[in-house]
A and B are shown apart, each in its own frame.
Chain A
Amino acid sequence: ETGVTQTPRHLVMGMTNKKSLKCEQHLGHNAMYWYKQSAKKPLELMFVYSLEERVENNSVPSRFSPECPNSSHLFLHLHTLQPEDSALYLCASSQYLSRSGSSYEQYFGPGTRLTVT
């Protein structure tokens, strides 16, 4: 495997289900991200992890729960979702978390297409 992989690629779940999205990066990066992409809207940053520590939570509802057990793996645990949560969920990684004076491009996985019924 190379780059950033995500599983599953497609997921249909009911509003009362619990499911998890998985992301794995094979780039040796230290920062990982979850984004949400809805139709006709820009990508929205949800969570940021640096060296397994969460550094940003962009006012995301508690029905989304991230987990980063190590610098190569990232999970997004889902429970009691709403239909408006249907979207493409993208995982990304970068070499480091960009702080003052430096900038690192983010590399994205193929995404999980989530449909909430």
Chain B
Amino acid sequence: EDQVTQSPEALRLQEGESSSLNCSYTVSGLRGLFWYRQDPGKGPEFLFTLYSAGEEKEKERLKATLTKKESFLHITAPKPEDSATYLCAVQANSGYALNFGKGTSLLVTP
């Protein structure tokens, strides 16, 4: 059965303090791994799709990487506006559903 585990559950950073969020997954053939950002009371906002091990994608202060077992979302010099819940999801070759993790709640303080 496909499984997605995100860690830590919650993370508090000072503004400018870089860190990484982890998404570990087990899936019967990975078709894609997705990162989303969700602000309170809003729907998830698409950030990245990664397809194969070794792939990296960047957007502003965010960089997503992928290995055969996990993905990292690196946040460089975060700002308070980066505070949100970050969700990871995988899609298996065998289906079209996205299997989501529980998310990491990030708080960046000034």
The residue among A55, A58, A97, A100 with the most chain B CB atoms within 10 A of its own CB is: A100
Q: Which range holds the interface residue count of chain B?
A: 20 to 34
The residue among B43, B89, B96, B102 with the most chain A CB atoms within 10 A of its own CB is: B96
- Which B residues are CB-close (under 8 A) to A6? 43
| Smallest Cβ-Cβ distance to A98: which chain B residue | B96
- Within residues 37 to 56 of chain A, which ones have a CB less than 8 A from any CB in chain B? 40-43, 45, 48, 55-56
User: Across the interface, do B101 and A90 meet the contact criterion of CB distance under 8 Å?
Assistant: no
- Which B residues are CB-close (under 8 A) to A105? 32, 34, 46, 49
User: Across the interface, do A56 and B97 meet the contact criterion of CB distance under 8 Å?
Assistant: yes
Q: Min CB distance, A9 to chain B, in Å? A: 9
The residue among A100, A105, A109 with the most chain B CB atoms within 10 A of its own CB is: A105
User: Across the interface, do A106 and B43 meet the contact criterion of CB distance under 8 Å?
Assistant: no
User: Across the interface, do B91 and A42 meet the contact criterion of CB distance under 8 Å?
Assistant: no
The verdict on A109 contacting B97 (CB below 8 Å), with A40-B102, A98-B91, A103-B91 known, is no
| Smallest Cβ-Cβ distance to A100: which chain B residue | B93
- Which A residues are CB-close (under 8 A) to B91? 98, 103
- Which B residues are CB-close (under 8 A) to A109? 43
Q: Min CB distance, A41 to chain B, in Å? A: 7
- Within residues 95 to 109 of chain A, which ones have a CB less than 8 A from any CB in chain B? 97-100, 103, 105-109
Cross-interface CB contact of B43 among A97, A103, A108, cutoff 8 Å? A108
Closest 10 CB pairs of A and B: A108-B43, A103-B32, A42-B100, A43-B100, A98-B96, A108-B44, A103-B31, A110-B43, A45-B97, A111-B43
A contact set with B: CB distance below 8 Å? 4, 6, 40-43, 45, 48, 55-56, 58, 90, 92, 97-100, 103, 105-111, 113
B contact set with A: CB distance below 8 Å? 4, 31-32, 34, 36, 41-46, 49, 51, 87, 89, 91, 93, 96-103
